[in-house]
Structure 1
Amino acid sequence: MSAEKTTKINRLLTSQPFGIVLQSDWLTEQGYNSDLQKRYRKGNWLKSIGTGAMIRTGDKVGYEGAIYALQTQSTLTVHPGGRTALFFLGKAHYLELSAKKAVLFGNKGERLPAWFQKHDWGIALDYYPTSFLPPDIGMVEVELKNFSINVSGAVRAFMECLYLAPEKQELMECFELMEGLNNLRPNQVQDLLEKCESVKVKRLFLYLAEKAGHEWFQYLVLRKVDLGHGKRSIVKNGVYVDKYKITVPKELEEHGKRSI
C-alpha cells in the first residue's frame, strides 16, 4: 500500500474512537471509496462484520458502538430506551437487570440495518420502532468509555417501559422504577405528557406517579394532558381505578395500603 493510502487510513483511524462500527456508506461520503475500503480490509486495517459495516481489526465492539454509528453516521434515531436507558442513568441499578438483553427504541418506520441484526453482539436486542413520542424530545447524552451515545432520559425511558407494559414489562416493576424517580423536573414531565400519543402510557404514568407520592406530581397541570375517553383494561381480572379509568393488577393497587 502506498504511503499516501497509509496516511489516509491512519487519518481515519485516529479521528474515530475505538469500539465503534464504521459504515461503508459513511466512509464513502468521507472520501474512502469502495476500492479503498477493500484495500483496507485486505491490508488487515479493517474487518467486515456484515455487508456495509466494518470495525478496526482486533477492536472489541459492542452494540453500543453500533448505536454510535447509527446515530452519528446515519440519520436513524435508534437508541437504548426503557429499562436499559434507566440502567445507563443509574435509575435501575437496584433491580435485577439481565446483562443478556437490551431494549432499543426508534422512530416508526426506522429499520435496523441487516448487519446490525445479523451480527452477534453477545447480547439479545429487542427493538421497538414507534412514534408514540416525538423522536427529538426527552433524550440525554451518556458518556461511555471511548464515545458517547444518546439514550432516553429518565421520563422518556419510564414512558417506554409503560409502552411495553404489561406484556413485556411487569407493572409492579414499573412501580418500583417510578419510586426511584423522585427528582424529576415537573416541566420535563409536563412536556412529554402533553406530547405523548399513547393514552395508556399517560394514564399509567400519572397513576403510578401519584401512588408513589412524589412531590413533583403536584406541579403537573393535568388539564393540559389529553387522557382520552372511555375505560382502558390494562390487565384482565384486575382492579378498576376510577380516577384514571384503568384496570391494574390487584397487587399493584393494594401495594402500600395497610389493612384495617
Structure 2
Amino acid sequence: MTLEKYGLLKQVLTHARPGQPLTAAWLAEQGVSAQLAYHYVQAGWLVRLGHGWFLRAGDEPVLLLSLEALPGNFHIGGKTALAWHGYQHNLAHRPDTELFAQGPFRLPEWMQAHFPLTVRKRHLFDDHAQGVALWRDMASLRVAEPERAVLEMLWGVPQHQTLEEATHLVESLFGLRATLMQPLLESCRSIKAVRLFLNLAKQASLPIMEELDRTRIRAGSATPYVRRHATGTIRT
C-alpha cells in the first residue's frame, strides 16, 4: 500500500467513531472508492461486515452507531423506545430492539447476527413522523417519543407484549404530554391500542386523563373489545 493510500485511510478513520460501521456510500464521500476499500480489506486495515459494509480492523460494531448508519425509513419504537426514555419494567430481560419501518425495509444479515433486532412493518398513524424525534446527539437515528411509543407497545398486546407488563409500563408514564398524546390518539389506526391506553391510563390515574378531549378520539363502539390470541386474550 502506498503512503498516499495509507494517508487517506488514516484521514478517513479520524472521522469514524470506534465501533462505527462504514458504508460504501460513506467511504465514497470520503474519497475511498470501492476498489480502494477492497485494497484496505486485503491489507488488514478494514474488515468486511457484508455487502457494502465495512468496519475498522479490531473494532466491534456498536448498536447505536450501526442503527445510525442503517439506511431506510424507520425509527426505534415500542417498548425499546420507552426503555431508552427511562421506562423499564423488567430489567433482567433483554428484549429485541424494535424497529418500526415505513415502506420497503430489510436488515443486513451481519446486523441481525450481531444484535437482537425485530422489525415491525405497521402503519399505525396517519403521520409517520408524528411523535418521532432525533435521538440525542445522533445525526440521523430517530426514536419515538414516549407518547407514540406507548401506543406502539400496546398495539403489540398480546401477540408481542404481555398485558401484565404493558399495564406496569403504563402505570409509570406520569410525564406524558397531552399536546402530543391527543393528536397521536386521534390519528392512531389501532382501536385496540387506543382503548387499551385509555383504560390502563384511567386505572393508573395518570394526570394526562384530565387533559385529554375524549370526544375527539376514535375508540370504536361502546361494546367491549375482545381479542383472542395463542399468547392470551385481552378484553377492554
Q: TM-score range by the shorter chain?
A: 0.7 to 0.9
Amino acid of the residue matched to residue 34 of structure 1? Answer: A
Give 3-state SS (helix, strand or coil) of 1:6's partner.
Answer: helix
Q: After TM superposition, give the deviation of residue 50 of structure 1 in Å.
A: 1.4
The answer to whether structure 1 residue 200 and structure 2 residue 192 are counterparts is: yes
**1:3 corresponds to which residue?**
3
Give 3-state SS (helix, strand or coil) of 2:150's partner.
Answer: helix
CA–CA separation in structure 1 for the residues paired with 2:24 and 2:93:
32
CA–CA separation in structure 2 for the residues paired with 1:162 and 1:190:
16
Q: After TM superposition, give the deviation of residue 194 of structure 1 in Å.
A: 1.9
**1:53 corresponds to which residue?**
53
Q: CA RMSD in A?
A: 2.6
Task: Confirm or deny: 8 A CA contact 2:50 2:108 kept in the other structure.
Answer: no
1:79-158 pair list within 5 angstroms: 79-92=75-88, 94-99=89-94, 101-117=96-112, 120-121=113-114, 123-133=115-125, 134-143=127-136, 149-158=141-150
Amino acid of the residue matched to residue 151 of structure 1? Answer: V
**1:256 corresponds to which residue?**
none
Q: After TM superposition, give the deviation of residue 213 of structure 1 in Å.
A: 0.7
Paired residues in the alignment total 232
- Selected match of 2:173 from 176, 181, 189: 181
**1:77 corresponds to which residue?**
73
CA–CA separation in structure 2 for the residues paired with 1:195 and 1:37:
46
Q: After TM superposition, give the deviation of residue 29 of structure 1 in Å.
A: 4.5
1:15-26 pair list within 5 angstroms: 15-26=15-26
Q: After TM superposition, give the deviation of residue 113 of structure 1 in Å.
A: 3.1
CA–CA separation in structure 2 for the residues paired with 1:183 and 1:101:
25
CA–CA separation in structure 2 for the residues paired with 1:126 and 1:68:
16
Unaligned 5+ segments in structure 1 are: 240-246, 249-260
Task: Confirm or deny: 8 A CA contact 1:108 1:130 kept in the other structure.
Answer: no
Give 3-state SS (helix, strand or coil) of 1:181's partner.
Answer: coil
Task: Confirm or deny: 8 A CA contact 1:67 1:79 kept in the other structure.
Answer: no
Q: After TM superposition, give the deviation of residue 178 of structure 1 in Å.
A: 0.6
Give 3-state SS (helix, strand or coil) of 1:234's partner.
Answer: strand
* Compared CA separation, residues 163 and 112, structure 1 to 2 (3 A): same
CA–CA separation in structure 2 for the residues paired with 1:207 and 1:173:
15
**Percentage of pairs with the same residue:** 30
**1:244 corresponds to which residue?**
none
